[in-house]
Structure 1
Amino acid sequence: MRDVPAYCAAGWAVFLALHLALNGRWWPWLAVSLLPPVVFAAVPLALLAVAVPAGSGPAALLAAGCLLAGWSQNGINWRALGPRRGSVDGFRLVSWNTQHWNQGGDPDRFYRFLRSLSADVYVLQEYLNGFEGGEVWDIDDEEQLRAAFPGHHLAVGNNAVTLSRFPAAGPPVPVGACSLRVDLRVGEGTLSTYNVHIPVQLTVMNPLRPAFLRDMRRRSAARDREYAALVGDLRGNPHPVLVTGDFNTSAAIGDIRRMPRSLRDAIGACRSVLPASWNARSRLRLWRIDWAFTGGGARVGAYRFRDAEGLSDHLVQELTVGFPRS
């Protein structure tokens, strides 16, 4: 019986080695990386729980090694258990994938919810309708946006909306085909906000059909282009930055490693051990695919995910952003 835990641990170690080597580098692995991130902690912990009573030293060592090697993949925010950070004097920002901008819903309810967030800056994705038969329809809701947020400056582009109490320091800059950069004049300085929406990995269809693999390969190429455009713009940007939105990327998907190391993941300011931003319409929230990063002196003092009241399958990201004013 001692050999069984060892074989299981060895099998998981082989899988983990393949995952770490191929994840984010070989497009077919995108389907495998859709595993729930917590699996990368749950499986080695279960193996340890079996190996130790069975007296299998090799299995216990392998399981412990897998737990450490796959730690960055599990999505667990252990920093939430530490002492609270000091408060940050800053402004309120919300980031939210609206899921097709209230398509088929009640516009008054949608705008009441947006106003209830009481943010200084709104970073909103999926300013569009459609997806019937793969078709996307551009929309024009600018008149209602300006009426609902008279004290905010409006920037629209790449199916994204950025509303801000701070004036723009220049015209909005499309980044790739799906993201929008807006430079804001905050005090005497400039903060670059990036409104990000990375394409989803695959279409739900029969995985045995050739069309499934063709679609996944096409989507992988689109994701590569969007990440490359985002990272390229970030590396050439001299301003403090706040990068947030729907990355369609969990902690277990290697694409998130493409973000520059100079950026800081805001999750350290979140008090949730298992942060999840999707699926907001389910009682069982799955995992985080919406992210926020800061760099260049900008930092996050408070960060949480707020219920979207059934208006979207994404939770709302709420942040307090501190910013060097000069």
Structure 2
Amino acid sequence: MVLLCTLGWAGFLALHLALNGRWWPWLAVSLLPPVALAAVPVALLAAALAGGAWGAAGLAAGCLLVAWPQNGINLRALGRRRSGCPDPGSGPRLVSWNTQHWNQGGDPDRFYAFLRELDADVYVLQEYLNGFEGGEVWDIDDEERLRAAFPDHHRAIGNNAVTLSRLPLAGPPVPVGACSLRADLRTGDGVLSTYNVHIPVQLTVMNPLRPAFFRDMRRRSRARDAEYAALVADLRDNPHPVLVTGDFNTSAAIGDIRRMPGSLRDAIGVCRSVLPASWNARSRLRLWRIDWAFTGGGARVGAYRFRDARGLSDHLVQELTLISPKKGND
């Protein structure tokens, strides 16, 4: 029985590795909690060892190793807990947060009080919009209140995203695709490009037996492909140090995250959480990290953590501090 279960898991894993990020219907399957890619083979390995099923044990161990990059576990956090964080970052402090429809239906005073409490040099905020059932989106205009609440911050607004920065803008904001925004910030020694990213969600919750479910998922897959392509193209043409952060609607188990250029560094390496998760912030059981932060071109992160959003959103807040590059590009 253990061998049959292990063979079944190995077959599923082979399909996952082959189809994940390459065949759009697999998007629904890859929504599994990433930690399952470690938990299942570990359970099978334990059962196989207990029963003396050495062949099954070897196969389970192989499954664990092959899928390790996709399980979302951050073993580097164990080393950081022992050694501490000697360089928390000397550059600007940033927060990145999907606001979940910009306080739609909530108390705006509480929402803005929370934003001010974060006290960041740079705010990278997604979902500057109101959303409704059926995927309908309404643009909003809260710029007057933003100006009053953050008089010391420059504003870059577009593509339903807001970037607020104490650092001056080096130019007008640049839309990237249909859902992301680049804001170039003037630092003391050059320019830092911040990418405010929001990749469309994979599917709408509806009856999966209806043809409309698959039509919607395919449409969303094409939209995701277009957003990732636009983001990667802009990054490859950008000569400046970069910070790429936001809501990717992509977990470690979803192959789409492999599209990010290999030259970028995932900030999770300096996080002190072994199982980092950013969604669902309103649930006690958080199994998915779908909010990411990457750096490249000389920019590096010294400190990175997820912060509670006080029930204002279903996403936790990403908090990070940059280590300013020694030399920037004008």
TM over 0.5: yes
- Does residue 284 of structure 2 align to residue 283 of structure 1? yes
- Does residue 155 of structure 2 align to residue 154 of structure 1? yes
- Runs (5+) with no aligned partner, structure 2: none
Alpha-carbon distance between aligned partners in 2 of 1:130 and 1:43, rounded to the nearest angstrom? 37
Within 5 A, what are the aligned runs for 1:182-221?
A: 182-221=183-222
Within 5 A, what are the aligned runs for 1:292-303?
A: 292-303=293-304
State the shift of 1:34 in Å.
0.3
Counterpart contact for 2:69–2:252, Cα < 8 Å: yes
Counterpart contact for 2:126–2:247, Cα < 8 Å: yes
Alpha-carbon distance between aligned partners in 2 of 1:274 and 1:188, rounded to the nearest angstrom? 36
Letter in structure 2 aligned against 1:46: A
Counterpart contact for 1:98–1:126, Cα < 8 Å: yes
State the shift of 1:195 in Å.
0.1
Letter in structure 2 aligned against 1:304: R
Query: Partner of 1:86 in structure 2?
Result: 86
State the shift of 1:188 in Å.
2.1
Query: Partner of 1:318 in structure 2?
Result: 319
State the shift of 1:85 in Å.
4.3
State the shift of 1:268 in Å.
0.7
Query: Partner of 1:38 in structure 2?
Result: 35
State the shift of 1:11 in Å.
1.1
Query: Partner of 1:101 in structure 2?
Result: 102
Please state whether the residue corresponding to 2:92 is helix, strand or coil. Answer: strand
- Does residue 242 of structure 2 align to residue 241 of structure 1? yes
Alpha-carbon distance between aligned partners in 2 of 1:131 and 1:220, rounded to the nearest angstrom? 20
Counterpart contact for 2:94–2:319, Cα < 8 Å: yes
State the shift of 1:51 in Å.
0.4
Query: Partner of 1:271 in structure 2?
Result: 272
Alpha-carbon distance between aligned partners in 1 of 2:277 and 2:50, rounded to the nearest angstrom? 33
Alpha-carbon distance between aligned partners in 1 of 2:76 and 2:323, rounded to the nearest angstrom? 19
Give per-residue Cα distances to partners, 1:165-221, cap 9 Å, x unaligned: 000111100000000000000102100000000000000000000000000000000
Query: Partner of 1:28 in structure 2?
Result: 25
- TM-score normalised over the length of structure 1: 0.98
Counterpart contact for 1:189–1:324, Cα < 8 Å: no
Give per-residue Cα distances to partners, 1:44-76, cap 9 Å, x unaligned: 000011001111111000000000000011100
- Runs (5+) with no aligned partner, structure 1: none
Please provide the CA RMSD for this pair. 0.8
Alpha-carbon distance between aligned partners in 2 of 1:91 and 1:314, rounded to the nearest angstrom? 22
State the shift of 1:41 in Å.
0.3
Query: Partner of 2:53 in structure 1?
Result: 56
State the shift of 1:131 in Å.
2.0
Query: Partner of 2:142 in structure 1?
Result: 141
Please state whether the residue corresponding to 1:15 is helix, strand or coil. Answer: helix
- Does residue 10 of structure 2 align to residue 13 of structure 1? yes
- TM-score normalised over the length of structure 2: 0.97
Give per-residue Cα distances to partners, 1:142-168, cap 9 Å, x unaligned: 000010001000000000000000001
Query: Partner of 1:169 in structure 2?
Result: 170
Letter in structure 2 aligned against 1:144: R
Letter in structure 1 aligned against 2:65: L
State the shift of 1:301 in Å.
0.6
State the shift of 1:285 in Å.
1.6
Letter in structure 2 aligned against 1:95: S
Letter in structure 2 aligned against 1:299: R
Counterparts in 2 of 1:45 and 1:189: CA distance versus 1, 3 Å: same
Query: Partner of 1:77 in structure 2?
Result: 74
* Count of residue pairs brought into register by the alignment: 323
Letter in structure 1 aligned against 2:32: L
Alpha-carbon distance between aligned partners in 2 of 1:290 and 1:97, rounded to the nearest angstrom? 8
Counterpart contact for 1:44–1:64, Cα < 8 Å: yes
Please state whether the residue corresponding to 2:132 is helix, strand or coil. Answer: strand
Letter in structure 1 aligned against 2:236: R
Alpha-carbon distance between aligned partners in 2 of 1:255 and 1:272, rounded to the nearest angstrom? 23
Percent of counterpart pairs with the same letter? Answer: 83
Please state whether the residue corresponding to 1:205 is helix, strand or coil. Answer: coil
State the shift of 1:130 in Å.
2.3
State the shift of 1:86 in Å.
2.9
Counterpart contact for 1:187–1:325, Cα < 8 Å: no
State the shift of 1:94 in Å.
0.1
